[in-house]
Amino acid sequence: MLGDVAALAMKDVRIELRSPASVAGALTLGLVGLVVTGLAAGPDTARLRAIAPGLAWLSIVYAAITVGERLDRIDRSDDAFAVLWLSVRDRRAIFAGKIMALTLMLWTISLALLGTAVVLLNIDPSPVAVALIPLALIASIALAAGVVVVTSTVGGNSQRVLLLPVALLPLLAPTLLAASQATGALVAGTVDASLPWFGLLAAQAALFGGLGLLTYEHGAALE
């Protein structure tokens, strides 16, 4: 199964590398948002530090929905999903592979956006700032798992473009809140205050991942 997971994840990564429209769009939106927010906040660094984490993670949530929907849509085009469904021994590998690929993309986006925020906020890259790296990874896993669970359930529905944001935004709101609060605590230099949010993100990642492994074969079954 692990070999299938790695192969399927690399498939999705190669798809995005060949045509990085979703990742590039989300990254550009996030960077522009941070720069414009910095200009709007002016010299008030405290205000900017309060706003920037939420804005950065909101852009990452947008990226998760956009990239996840695109990868699932490509798999379902021209009956490609039927071939994929019948070619793997354990169909949970499809779910795990998508999580791995989407996590790598979101981790890259989040590190780029959070790194930009660190530069804009003139934060000393101390061990506290380094903690943003595992935070971004855990949050990316939680976001990826939640997105893959919902996109597989929605499937090829003709209204999926409307259904996905409606279903995903409430589901991912706790992840957005926890990631923003943890980032804000780390930026402020209070590591202890970020630990409960780390735990909440890990719990969400485990919940979404476990739910997907239990329900994927039924929820994403061929139509």
pLDDT classification of 203: cutoffs 50, 70, 90:
very high
pLDDT for 141: 94
62 pLDDT above the threshold of 80: yes
pTM value is 0.85
Query: CA-CA distance, 111 to 79, in Å (whole number)?
Result: 35
The rounded percent of the chain whose pLDDT value lies above 90 is 15
CA 36 vs. chain centroid, Å, equals 23
Residue 175 has pLDDT above 60, yes or no: yes
CA-based nearest residue to 136, from 162, 161, 163, 103? 103
Q: Say which residue the tokens 């399927």 belong to.
A: 8
CA–CA–CA angle 176, 177, 183 (5° rounding)? 90
Q: What is the pLDDT of residue 24?
A: 77
Name the band, by pLDDT with cuts 50, 70 and 90, for residue 198.
very high
pLDDT digits (tens, 9 = 90+) for 109-154: 888 888 887 777 666 666 667 888 899 999 999 999 988 888 877 7
Residue 27 has pLDDT above 80, yes or no: no
Q: Alpha helices of 42-159 — where are they, by DSSP H?
A: 45-76, 80-87, 92-120, 127-130, 132-154
Query: Which band of pLDDT confidence, cut at 50, 70 and 90, is reported for residue 200?
Result: very high
Domain ranges of the chain: 2-219
